[in-house]
Chains A and B, each alone.
Chain A
Amino acid sequence: MDKNRFFFQHYGVTERDLEQYLAAALSAGGDYADLYFEYLSSTSLMVDESMVKSASQGISAGCGVRVISGERTGYAYTDDLSSERILHAARTAALIASGPAKTPSIGFQERQARSLYPITLPSVDAEITAKVELVMRADAAARACDPRIKEVRASYLDELRNILVVGSDGTFAEDSQPLARLNVGCIAKTETNSARGSSGGGGRVALDFFFGEKTPEYFAKESARQAILQLDAREAPAGEMEVVLGPGWPGVLLHEAIGHGLEADFNRKKTSAFAGLIGKRVASDKCTIVDNGTMPWRRGSLNVDDEGNSTQETVLIEKGMLKGYLSDKLSARLMGMANTGNGRRESYEHIPMPRMTNTYMLAGEDDPGDIIRSVKRGVYAVNFGGGQVDITNGKFVFSASEAYLIEDGQVTAPIKGATLIGNGPDVLTHVSMVGNDLKLDEGVGTCGKDGQAVPVGVGIPTIKIDRLTVGGTAKKDVGGFMQ
């Protein structure tokens, strides 16, 4: 064992200590125990009115101890990494079980870990002046786009999360997980109208990503473009209609409609509308959907999940048939299924659960132009805010922030933001065309579940959904979308 050993070096943790903590965690029985050490450092900068108004840095460190006994989980954590406090947490978590002490397996086996984000200088350690340059450039570029851009707020956030996970089954995994994100928000104003735009991106990347691949000017222009476009947006139509989703971030559809419903915990408890549908058709045969935690540099990727397992590519839906769930250690064991490496948590204060990584639909064969041309009257939605799902009844929403009318096969006027609503287990059965232009999002997604936020990615090619409810305000007329 050599490598990084962050907690060995900085906190004097030894393998013997770890064995002792695990023994304390299993002192009242229990089937399994693990420890999650975390050291998170972060930076945040915000420019508003062309001034750097806010700059902050922070450090939080701690250790969470989990004990599993059957279906029961005991959890305790401490933000003090001394032996006394960790042992106290371990004994507290141990109380979930009630039986004779168990002995953890002796000796840890370290996994051959991937290296999906090989960075020599993590951005948290990079010069702050370079980060200031990024937000100031974003501000200037957005204002330069158009005189109607009156307000700009640009922010930059980065973090480095060092983790160590050890388990009573011999699990030993370390990782050092960088994450960075640049965001630009604009408000455009005329004498009569106001509108907003927003753009951003990043990933598990070094600072040079924003000086090369995706510059502040790139995000600033996109944000300003959206705000200006929205100044002239018409009322959106209301009711069921044909909907074409553009490539990339509209993949949030998959995250809400399909992804959450396929997290194993909900299916183990039979609280998901997808429970019992494995092997059944839940989408048209043009749809193949995967969750893939192994994509280099991406926001939703991880070398190991927060239970120390390697992440993987998991096929959720293959040619329309439901293939599998996303699992963590607990659900894999209780459901007798493979562990897909999707056990994630927000921090050491949280119990891990099955979560998505990067979730996307594979490219199809249709030309995106043909897809648009096939629609007589409908909506073309290319950018979205967030979404939400009720996994029990399957109803989900996602909110379009940039969308257009399609009239006689042509993309015409921009429309105001509107919520799209559907039913997860059948929305994809109405997918009649899938484009050849798969794109992933820019790296802005954060998913919330049970009060825990984790970074995720989504992606989708252009697709056509024959029937989806659009939540606009315009009255629908036989002649089209009249106002």
Chain B
Amino acid sequence: MSETQLETPTPAADLKDLAQDIVRSAMAGGATAAECIIREGDEFSTLVRLGQVETLKEAGSKAIGVRVFRGQRAASTYSSDFSREGLDRMLNSALELAKITSEDPFAGIPEPQQLGSLAGDLDLYYADVYSLPGEERIDYARRAEKAALDFDPRIQNSEGGSFDAATGYKVMANSHDFVGEYRRSYCSVAAVPIARTEDGAMQRDYWFSVARNLGRLESPEHVGQVAAQRTLRRLGARKVKTAHVPVVLDPMVANSILGHIFEGINGDSVYRGASFLAGKLGQKIAGDQVTIIDDGTMRGGFGTAPFDGEGIPTRRTVVIENGVLKSYLLNTYTAKKLGLQTTANASRGLAGTPGIGPGNYFLQAGTKTPPEIIAAIPDGLYITEFLGHGANLVTGDYSRGASGLWISGGELAYPVEEITVAGNLKEMFNNISEIGNDLEFRGSMACPTIRIDGLTVGGE
């Protein structure tokens, strides 16, 4: 491609042609099936700290990947070099590499009739995330930080306020004549204040807003104020005695529990028996009120796309209904391994075999407000942050560092830290006894406030 083409903001037609060319060349070179993916993106980010611009970053990049099959053998390669020689080398390496992998009876691309792309505008792309003049972008970051610094005299320091914007374009083509494309945009504003007590102890927390267009972004002032409140409530945190009490997870940390369920019902862990949820279809695995949906089709969603990583239209899947496991989340390979149909959850980078990723994956909201859930607990822990990654999906064993607020007499009493929370995910999923009404998407996974009983809180 020439330099002038690279300057053009929408080289879409060229890249679609290129992806199809690569697939045709792969087939001509001896492949029995092939897929090509091209990604192009621009990013802008700025960080303002104590009122001064600290970093400004702006760039664009583009890369291409190909996956080829020789019968039941597959291999993949990728490159950021779009010169003729670069593309030839990528293709030839893939064709060579596919000679040394194993014959896998389940390997292959989807059937032609499975392929396609959701029709209509999915509300995923807004050019306005990139439209602001430089000074105004910086101002978003500055305003968020200032709102946090102005909120309380105990906030004198900060890791800054930030504004980020990005656009991405993806093309996919395969040897069943599928070719699809989509664009997505994203922008976010965040603040990370630091509060300090008189004795010098510091606490840090954050808040952010993220949206597909500028108009839906929360005001930087609101973001900064929430960040300040979240930080201030941690000041003076203490340890507690080891105890067995109910815990309430705020939506940001409750998301991680939803994430563990995702890992556990992901076809890749299921067919290998690497999850304690393998083989549990149709069985009760979570509390009665737990209904989990994965929906890749929601207009404007952070996990929405017209087709998955294999070119299959995305869909809505009920994963858990009233505590009963209804469906795993699958791609073509894991579906074949399990004798099921794909749920169009294939995810992929430029190279490697497709993995499994969520669409818009969420726990359905309940009816109680978070204060109502807390009010029912005489003695317990409200968790606002987890530290570390101590979840074992093979055994269900769960142990993580935590901080938050102690619940006493149905109210948030004082901040706590340097404690652990431990249990077993098998019981924890079943012990989700309350679900809040505060479901809100800040990414492709979303969970309301939840209460879990039967955990060990480790402290002094």
Per the 8 Å Cβ criterion, residues 397-437 of B in contact with A are 397, 399-401, 403, 417-424
Q: List 28 A-B contacts (CB under 8 A).
A: A44-B352, A53-B102, A53-B104, A54-B74, A54-B75, A55-B98, A57-B77, A58-B350, A59-B79, A72-B56, A96-B56, A187-B274, A196-B395, A238-B242, A239-B460, A271-B194, A271-B202, A349-B61, A395-B387, A416-B399, A417-B397, A419-B390, A421-B388, A469-B419, A469-B459, A471-B390, A471-B458, A475-B456
The answer to whether A273 touches B202 (Cβ under 8 A) is yes
The answer to whether A417 touches B6 (Cβ under 8 A) is no
Q: What interface size band does chain A fall in? A: 35 or more
The answer to whether A56 touches B351 (Cβ under 8 A) is yes
The answer to whether A269 touches B59 (Cβ under 8 A) is no
CA distance A78 to B108 in the complex (A): 35
CA distance A284 to B159 in the complex (A): 31
Per the 8 Å Cβ criterion, residues 36-82 of A in contact with B are 44, 47-49, 51-62, 71-80, 82
Residue in A85, A129, A196, A399 with the greatest tally of chain B CB atoms within 10 Å = A399
CA distance A386 to B63 in the complex (A): 31
CA distance A76 to B102 in the complex (A): 42
In the complex, besides A49-B272, A151-B272, A194-B395, 18 extra interface pairs with C-beta distance below 8 angstroms are: A48-B272, A53-B107, A59-B89, A62-B61, A82-B3, A150-B273, A194-B276, A236-B399, A387-B388, A388-B388, A397-B390, A398-B388, A418-B399, A419-B399, A419-B422, A469-B239, A473-B423, A475-B456
The answer to whether B159 touches A271 (Cβ under 8 A) is yes
The answer to whether B399 touches A80 (Cβ under 8 A) is no
The answer to whether B75 touches A472 (Cβ under 8 A) is no
Q: Nearest residue in B to A65 (C-beta to C-beta)?
A: B59
CA distance A18 to B358 in the complex (A): 45
The answer to whether B273 touches A187 (Cβ under 8 A) is yes
Decide if B114 is an interface residue (CB 8 Å cutoff): no
Per the 8 Å Cβ criterion, residues 399-458 of A in contact with B are 399, 416-419, 421-423
Per the 8 Å Cβ criterion, residues 366-395 of A in contact with B are 385-390, 392-393, 395
Decide if A351 is an interface residue (CB 8 Å cutoff): yes
Decide if B322 is an interface residue (CB 8 Å cutoff): no
Instruction: Please give me the 5 A-B residue pairs with the lowest Cβ-Cβ distance, nearest first.
Output: A471-B420, A397-B401, A51-B102, A397-B388, A392-B204
By a CB distance below 8 angstroms, the chain B residues around A57 are: 77, 93-94, 97, 351
Interface string of A83-98 (1 = CB under 8 A from B): 0110001001001100
Decide if B80 is an interface residue (CB 8 Å cutoff): yes
CA distance A419 to B459 in the complex (A): 12
Cβ of B70 to closest chain A Cβ, rounded Å = 12
Q: Contact check: which of B80, B102, B104, B389 meets A385 at CB < 8 Å?
A: B389
Q: Contact check: which of B94, B103, B399 meets A417 at CB < 8 Å?
A: B399
By a CB distance below 8 angstroms, the chain B residues around A49 are: 272
Per the 8 Å Cβ criterion, residues 270-301 of A in contact with B are 270-271, 273
By a CB distance below 8 angstroms, the chain B residues around A44 are: 351-352
The answer to whether A73 touches B399 (Cβ under 8 A) is no
Q: Nearest residue in A to B96 (C-beta to C-beta)?
A: A128
Decide if B84 is an interface residue (CB 8 Å cutoff): no
CA distance A289 to B397 in the complex (A): 33
Interface string of B70-113 (1 = CB under 8 A from A): 00001111111100001001100110011011111001000000
Per the 8 Å Cβ criterion, residues 186-243 of B in contact with A are 194, 201-204, 234, 237, 239, 242
Per the 8 Å Cβ criterion, residues 466-483 of A in contact with B are 469-476
The answer to whether A79 touches B63 (Cβ under 8 A) is yes
Cβ of B356 to closest chain A Cβ, rounded Å = 14
The answer to whether B390 touches A385 (Cβ under 8 A) is yes
The answer to whether B102 touches A189 (Cβ under 8 A) is no
Q: Contact check: which of A47, A55, A194, A470 meets B75 at CB < 8 Å?
A: A55
By a CB distance below 8 angstroms, the chain A residues around B377 are: none
By a CB distance below 8 angstroms, the chain B residues around A77 are: 59, 61
By a CB distance below 8 angstroms, the chain A residues around B94 are: 57
By a CB distance below 8 angstroms, the chain A residues around B401 are: 388, 395-397, 419, 421, 471
Decide if B62 is an interface residue (CB 8 Å cutoff): yes
The answer to whether A393 touches B419 (Cβ under 8 A) is no
Per the 8 Å Cβ criterion, residues 53-72 of B in contact with A are 53-63, 65
Decide if B353 is an interface residue (CB 8 Å cutoff): yes
Decide if A195 is an interface residue (CB 8 Å cutoff): yes
Per the 8 Å Cβ criterion, residues 122-142 of B in contact with A are 134
The answer to whether A96 touches B458 (Cβ under 8 A) is no
By a CB distance below 8 angstroms, the chain A residues around B274 are: 151, 187, 196
Q: A74-B56, A392-B202 are in contact. Are A473 and B102 (CB under 8 A)?
A: no
The answer to whether A393 touches B203 (Cβ under 8 A) is yes
CA distance A270 to B3 in the complex (A): 45
The answer to whether B390 touches A95 (Cβ under 8 A) is no
Cβ of B293 to closest chain A Cβ, rounded Å = 28
The answer to whether B100 touches A128 (Cβ under 8 A) is yes
By a CB distance below 8 angstroms, the chain B residues around A471 are: 390, 399-401, 420-422, 456, 458
Decide if A230 is an interface residue (CB 8 Å cutoff): yes
CA distance A421 to B420 in the complex (A): 7
